[in-house]
């Protein structure tokens, strides 16, 4: 079981190297996350793009807040800010 309480959702495509890299970081930190494959689901991809304001993948949400993609996830980790985001409980 993960030490983190946050609800993490990641929207990916199977062939995206940035998606793989982001998931590897989450896996290394033993973060539980829900992975949504948007490769063939244009409606879901459009919805997540509208929510995040971005069209690329991955799109990562922590407690329903868009944090960006792979680079932003790694930047948060490098700055020591990712753990505090992951430790926050989702809003009720």
Q: pLDDT tens across 56-75, in order? A: 999 999 999 999 999 999 99
Q: How confident is the model at residue 89 (pLDDT cuts 50, 70, 90)?
A: confident
Q: Name which of 52, 3, 75 is nearest 32 in CA terms.
A: 3
| pLDDT for residue 2 | 67
Query: What architecture does CATH give domain 8-86?
Result: 3-Layer(aba) Sandwich (3.40)
Q: How many CA atoms lie within 13 A of 30 on its CB side?
A: 4
pTM of the model: 0.93
Q: How confident is the model at residue 90 (pLDDT cuts 50, 70, 90)?
A: confident
Q: Could you tell me the residue ranges of all domains in the chain?
A: 8-86
């Amino acid at each position: 079981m993960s030490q983190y309480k946050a609800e993490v959702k990641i929207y990916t495509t199977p062939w995206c190297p940035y998606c793989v890299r982001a998931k590897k970081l989450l896996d290394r930190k033993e973060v539980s996350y829900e992975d949504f494959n948007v490769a063939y689901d244009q409606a879901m991809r459009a919805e997540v793009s509208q929510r995040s304001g971005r069209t690329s993948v991955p799109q990562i949400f922590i407690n329903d807040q868009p944090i960006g993609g792979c680079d932003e996830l790694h930047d948060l980790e490098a700055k020591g800010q990712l753990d505090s985001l992951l430790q926050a409980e989702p809003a009720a």
